[in-house]
Amino acid sequence: MAKILIVDDIKEYVEALKNVLKYDYEIEAAYSLKEAKEKMDNTFSLLLVDIRLDEKDPNNADGIIFLEWVKENFPHIPVVMMSAYKEFEERKEEILKKGAATFLKKPIELNNLREIISKLIKQ
């Protein structure tokens, strides 16, 4: 079974994604940049990463820092970036150039998410 790491600082959002994906994938979760780096290894088939990993800091973009780190250390693992904030949607091209497989705006349409995950894992 493919393994996915969900990285988001909002536990309720992580739990909702886990509940949707747990029947098809093994799911791990991390709630901060530090925790995500600690959990990261070659066993993951895909990463779902929120751009802002500290809801209280409006300038936080730890998810982008994590994306860059993953692409340096695990370039073969696809990273799906996600955000509910408009300013990050405006940076979509930059995020894709940094190596993200795609960018999704929250709230995520779940059937679309399943389709994207399936395609990326098969590649």
- For 13-31, write each residue's pLDDT tens digit: 999 999 999 999 999 999 9
pTM of the predicted structure, to 2 decimals: 0.94
Question: Given this model, what pLDDT does residue 45 score?
Answer: 98
How many distinct structural domains can be found in the chain? 1
Given pLDDT bands bounded at 50, 70 and 90, which one contains residue 59? confident
Question: Given this model, what pLDDT does residue 4 score?
Answer: 98
* Mean per-residue pLDDT, 33-57: 94
**Could you tell me which residues come within 8 angstroms of residue 17 by beta carbon, excluding any fewer than 6 positions away?**
6, 8, 27, 48, 108
CATH code for the domain of 36: 3.40.50.2300
DSSP state of 109: P
Q: Are 48 and 7 in contact (CB under 8 A)?
A: yes
Structural domain of residue 47, as residue ranges? 3-122
